[in-house]
Structure 1
Amino acid sequence: MSISPLYVSPIGRGGVDIGIQNILRAVKRSGEQHAQLLRMPEQYNFLPMLLPYALPSGWSDGHGVIQARSRLAYALKRPGIPLVTTVHHLTTDPRLTPVSSLAQRVFYRLVESQYDGWSVKKADAVVCVSRYTQMMTEQTYGRTDTHLIYDGIDTDVFTPHPDGQLAALPASDARIKLLFVGNRTRRKGFDLLPKIMDLLPNDYVLYYTASFQQGVDTQPHPRMIPIGTPDRDGLVAAYRSADIMLFPSRLEGFGIAPAEALACGIPVVTTNASALPEVVDHNQSGILVEPNDVAGYADAVRLLGEDAQLRAQYGAFGRAKVVRCFGYDMLGPAFLNLYTQLMQR
């Protein structure tokens, strides 16, 4: 039976957009070659109610399942076609409030939470990308038949370098190279990075990606070096060139960047909060620090920075965990099994 799932996603530049691309690739790799991703302009992320009027005529013809993120899935409900929505994280999460602007809080409370709720209610199946997100979805919207399918990582692409560490980051005199991947926002903990660097030795340097949500305009610390917005190959090279990933995020629905780093054999220092402990195992693949504990992050980084054997041990454990739990071999079959169940109802 051909399922031909259709994924509808306005163009985006964050983890949610990466997530839908990973689902598409994993489902195709698992044998469903007719899976299709329908892209729409970015503004439909904020005006999903207009999607039905903008989609091409016959857009759902020939597809057995329609899937979209919870911000917009409700607008894509079609008679006779199962609708799947994916919840990546909820803007009603109380952890988000202290790190959001007033405008963001108003939008989240009055607009996006409504979109999420409508999608969770209307969907034939609700998929959550972590146990934490599943718990928050059930508590917030009362739906108790959600499905847990973790976000996935292409572990055939995100791999350790076969010859060891790669020199792909900008040149520096650093003995220990740290890497932060994510948007430069308070939710991601970017504001904590300069404070952490102040507590680290002078031969520790932090490389960080640019972002579409430009939280700062200037280099925030003398030992923080921007690396722009690398494509997927560039990102793999950056992970392979780093010694440690530093990711002091305050809230993650899953944690794609830490999972990518672990897949490349790089240990992670991150936060003991939200879904991050589901990705990073404390004292096994990285170190978990309590939220906002600047000294704790610095101590964890220094512990790993001064012990190459421990870094290698944590990296190997993390790589094995990601392959076992978050690889495409798990992601693709899990969704195909769900689609088959929906179509047989």
Structure 2
Amino acid sequence: MCPRRTPLVITFHNYVLDRVMRRYSSAVQRLHYATDLRLYTRMALRRAAAVTAVSNFTARLVREDLRFAGPIEVIPNGVDVGRFRPGDAPPQDGPLRVLFSGNLTRRKGADLLPEIARLAGPDVQIHYTTGARAGIGDPRWAGLHPQGRVPHDQMPTLYRRFDALLLPTVREGMSLALLEAMASGLVVVASDAASNPELIEPRAGGLLCPVGEPEAYADALRTLAADRERVRRMGQHNRQVVESRYTLERMVAGYLAVFERVLGKPVPLRGEARL
């Protein structure tokens, strides 16, 4: 707990207190979201000197669900474009190499993976990591290729082994996996939900699909598998988008400006001289 006189800056990295997310939450989570977490979130908002969110979608949810009338500054997530960078040009033959990176939960759309793989057919090869939490188990589903738990410092190398990222998620504040994959030059097949449309330019950097419809994801993957030159162009486009809008430097500058405005004085970064 910080002293009450300390200015409070709140950042919403995601939002799960609304009714839509109840069907994707456990009984304990639903109780927690509807009672103490909602109460404490409202209390924090009343105290906050500044409120930020990682996406326009998340900011809008906070305003609508909590009826928050104050300003919310959107500061998108950023990634290290030096670490997450494209590898060699992907091969033009063989199956399309697709990665699902995240927890194996219904909220992430992991339950759709076996059906997507079945419908996509032999021209698409789907690999998956288990993430920090394997919420629906790790059954080594037929037709899917497990990568196990991959430490974050090994993720840049992993992304460079693939052509596309599959993100059939229900809710994201702003997906770091999505940004990392885009920075690595991957094309994206994702849900048209939450903040995904803020990041993905349809037909330029990826294909968006309706939530919960494995047929749509499979069709999108088959379309990409049939046109590898398009996959290459879309991956290059995604890299350019991240370099221009979603770098660590832009994110840090955004938060630094908020902290300096709240404090009314410059805030030195680590390693800078303190006056």
Q: Same fold (TM over 0.5)?
A: yes
Q: 1:343, CA displacement in angstroms?
A: 1.3
Change (3 A) 1:92 1:217: closer
1:60 corresponds to? none
Q: 1:93, CA displacement in angstroms?
A: 2.6
Match of 2:77 among 151, 163, 170: 151
Q: Distance in 1 between the 2:40 and 2:80 partners?
A: 30
CA contact (8 A) 2:24 2:107 kept: yes
CA contact (8 A) 1:243 1:305 kept: no
Q: Identity over the aligned pairs, expressed in percent?
A: 29
2:109 corresponds to? 189
Name which structure has the greater RCO, CA cutoff 8 Å, separation 6+. Answer: 2
Q: 1:122, CA displacement in angstroms?
A: 1.4
Structure 1: stretches of 5+ with no match in the other structure: 1-51, 53-75, 167-173
Match of 1:254 among 148, 155, 174: 174
2:241 corresponds to? 321
Q: Aligned-residue CA RMSD in angstroms?
A: 1.9
Work out whether 1:216 is the aligned partner of 2:136.
yes
Corresponding letter in the other structure for 2:85: T
Deviation track 1:269-307 (CA, whole Å, cap 9, x = no partner) reads 001111111111111110001111111111111111121
Q: Distance in 2 between the 1:211 and 1:232 partners?
A: 10
Q: 1:256, CA displacement in angstroms?
A: 1.3
Change (3 A) 1:179 1:343: same
What does residue range 1-345 of structure 1 map to in structure 2 within 5 Å? 52=1, 76-79=2-5, 81-141=6-66, 142-161=68-87, 163-165=88-90, 175-344=95-264
Q: 1:263, CA displacement in angstroms?
A: 0.5
Q: Distance in 1 between the 2:214 and 2:84 partners?
A: 29
Q: 1:195, CA displacement in angstroms?
A: 1.0
Q: 1:165, CA displacement in angstroms?
A: 4.4
Change (3 A) 1:77 1:164: farther
Q: Distance in 1 between the 2:58 and 2:147 partners?
A: 31
CA contact (8 A) 2:10 2:45 kept: yes
CA contact (8 A) 1:194 1:220 kept: no
Corresponding letter in the other structure for 2:224: L
Q: 1:164, CA displacement in angstroms?
A: 3.0
Deviation track 1:134-155 (CA, whole Å, cap 9, x = no partner) reads 1111122313211110111111
Structure 2: stretches of 5+ with no match in the other structure: 266-275
Matched position secondary structure for 2:114: helix
Corresponding letter in the other structure for 1:106: L
CA contact (8 A) 1:120 1:143 kept: no
1:56 corresponds to? none
Q: Distance in 1 between the 2:122 and 2:71 partners?
A: 51
Q: 1:178, CA displacement in angstroms?
A: 0.9
Q: 1:341, CA displacement in angstroms?
A: 1.0
Range 317-326 or range 96-105, more displaced: 96-105
Range 230-239 or range 128-137, more displaced: 230-239
2:270 corresponds to? none
TM-score where L is the length of structure 2: 0.90
Q: Distance in 1 between the 2:146 and 2:176 partners?
A: 20
Change (3 A) 1:242 1:77: farther
Matched position secondary structure for 1:241: coil
Matched position secondary structure for 1:324: helix
Q: Distance in 2 between the 1:77 and 1:300 partners?
A: 52
Range 294-303 or range 219-228, more displaced: 219-228
Q: 1:239, CA displacement in angstroms?
A: 0.9
Q: 1:318, CA displacement in angstroms?
A: 0.8
TM-score where L is the length of structure 1: 0.72
Corresponding letter in the other structure for 2:42: G
Matched position secondary structure for 2:166: strand
CA contact (8 A) 1:187 1:249 kept: yes
Matched position secondary structure for 2:14: coil
